[in-house]
């Protein structure tokens, strides 16, 4: 399939940028032709992309896609709404940011929320698909435990580092 992924920014290891990076990588590994349209692109994400095509706004009008998957529709919808596609999918990453509100348009075939609270907050039929969790990267064998620090409530906070990234977990 020829798939266009669109998000506002595609440059840092944050929220929806990382979500779409992982999605693009997985789709490419499955043999799909993946295109990305974003108003803001840059390193480090763009340097980590293999076999992914970055399109301009003008490129979108000269191609036909099997599917367009997008977020940040309140900003990007005008850029992508005229793309030729069989299906538009609006992915919602937050229930509190106006940037993440669903685009209400009869061209959109499917809405996806990444957690139940998002589904409950919107007035459109929205499917729940949780963010994937990569157990090959995030697991006990690759976890380096740092010094335990006890809080006043005697809970333990343990900082784990996974492949150079940190995450704090609270164990009781």
pLDDT digits (tens, 9 = 90+) for 106-151: 999 999 999 999 999 999 999 998 876 666 766 666 655 554 444 4
Domain count, the chain: 2
10 or 84, greater pLDDT: 84
Computed over every residue of the chain, the mean pLDDT equals 81
Residues 93 and 145 in one domain: no
53 and 11 in a common domain: yes
Q: What is the mean pLDDT of residues 31-45?
A: 92
E strands, the chain, are: 2-6, 9-10, 33-37, 40-41, 52-54, 64-65, 67-70, 84-85, 88-92, 108-113, 127-128, 144-145, 149-150, 156-162, 165-171
- Whether residues 13 and 94 share a domain: the answer is yes
Distance CA 23, CA 170 (A): 28
Q: Are residues 165 and 122 in the same domain?
A: no
Task: Let me know: does 32 contact 3? Beta carbons within 8 Å.
Answer: yes
pTM for this one?
0.76
């Amino acid at each position: 399939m020829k798939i266009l992924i669109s998000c506002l920014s595609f440059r840092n290891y944050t929220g929806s940028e990382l979500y779409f990076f992982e999605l693009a990588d997985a789709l490419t590994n499955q043999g799909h032709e993946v295109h990305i349209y974003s108003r803001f692109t840059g390193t480090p994400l763009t340097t980590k992309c293999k076999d992914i095509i970055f399109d301009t706004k003008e490129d979108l009008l000269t191609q036909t896609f099997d599917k367009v998957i997008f977020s940040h529709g309140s900003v990007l919808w005008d850029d992508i709404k005229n793309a030729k596609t069989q299906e538009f999918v609006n992915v919602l990453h937050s229930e509190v940011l106006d940037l993440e509100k669903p685009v209400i348009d009869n061209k959109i075939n499917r809405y996806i929320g990444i957690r139940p609270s998002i589904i409950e907050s919107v007035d459109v039929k929205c499917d729940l698909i949780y963010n994937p969790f990569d157990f090959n990267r995030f697991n006990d064998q690759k976890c380096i435990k740092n010094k335990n620090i006890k809080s006043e409530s005697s809970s333990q906070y343990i900082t784990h580092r996974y492949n150079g990234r940190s995450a704090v977990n609270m164990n009781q």
